[in-house]
Chain A
Amino acid sequence: EAQVTQNPRYLITVTGKKLTVTCSQNMNHEYMSWYRQDPGLGLRQIYYSMNVEVTDKGDVPEGYKVSRKEKRNFPLILESPSPNQTSLYFCASSSGTGLLEQYFGPGTRLTVT
């Protein structure tokens, strides 16, 4: 089944403790992206990647890192999480440019205390 998977689905952590949210897709997609969803703000793009070893900042990259060493994986790294990073995070992928529809993962709900 074609899908985007994220792990973990739920995470509660403390301020400053490094964490990684994994994202993997099995559709051989070139484009991958991370979003955060907050009430009243909709989805905001954090980082995106056009292909392996090619990443770029979205609208809200501060406090996040990403890497794209393999085509299928696009982990999101929070080196020193803070409470304002409490949010619902989505990974997405598509087979090419932004002209094509994106496939979204199920989401990761992160709480930073």
Chain B
Amino acid sequence: AQSVAQPEDQVNVAEGNPLTVKCTYSVSGNPYLFWYVQYPNRGLQFLLKYITGDNLVKGSYGFEAEFNKSQTSFHLKKPSALVSDSALYFCAVTLVRSSGDKLTFGTGTRLAVRP
């Protein structure tokens, strides 16, 4: 079985400060990892993904994520937070199977950036 854990329900950060949103995963095999963002009253939007290769992945809106296989983590980071980054963030893992792919999401972390 595959699973994703986002240990923080909410992360608070001041504008201009760096931010980290944590994610750990559990999967049998090579993980394919994603971050999505959900703004109020909207569907989810893709931010970035890790498939293979460089452990540091860069994505949309200045976000990046670091894949750490030994710690089974895929934390989302941004060097300087903006108030407009305030949203709900979801980490997800997928396992590619011959019977069909299955995407499992974490419970989400609400990011609040104060001016």
Bound complex: CA A104 to CA B92 (Å): 14
Interfacial residues, chain B to chain A (CB-CB below 8 A): 6, 32, 34, 36, 41-46, 49, 51, 90, 94-96, 99-108
Are A104 and B44 neighbours in the complex by a CB distance under 8 Å?
Answer: yes
A84 is an interface residue with CB less than 8 A from chain B: no
Taking the closest CB of chain B, its distance from the CB of A89, in whole angstroms, is: 11
Partner of B101, one of A31, A59, A107: A31
Q: Is there contact, CB below 8 Å, between B42 and A98?
A: no
In this complex, how many residues of chain A approach chain B with their Cβ under 8 Å: the count is 28
Q: Closest 10 CB pairs between A and B?
A: A98-B101, A104-B43, A101-B46, A98-B94, A42-B107, A43-B105, A104-B44, A42-B105, A56-B100, A42-B108
Query: A99 on the interface (CB 8 Å rule)?
Result: yes
Please, how many angstroms separate the alpha-carbon atoms of A35 and B45 in the complex?
Answer: 14
CA distance A59 to B2 in the complex (A): 11
B107 A41 Cβ-Cβ under 8 A: yes
Q: In the assembly, what is the distance between CA of A31 and CA of B100, in Å?
A: 10
Report the stretch among A12-20, A44-52, A62-70 that lies at the interface: A44-52
Contact in complex: A97, B96 (CB < 8 Å): yes
Q: Which of A27-49 contact B (CB under 8 A)?
A: 31, 33, 35, 40-45, 48
- Measured CB to CB, the closest approach of chain A to B59, in angstroms, equals 10
- Report whether A99 and B32 are in contact in the complex, using a CB–CB cutoff of 8 Å: yes
Would you call B90 and A43 a contact (CB within 8 A)? yes
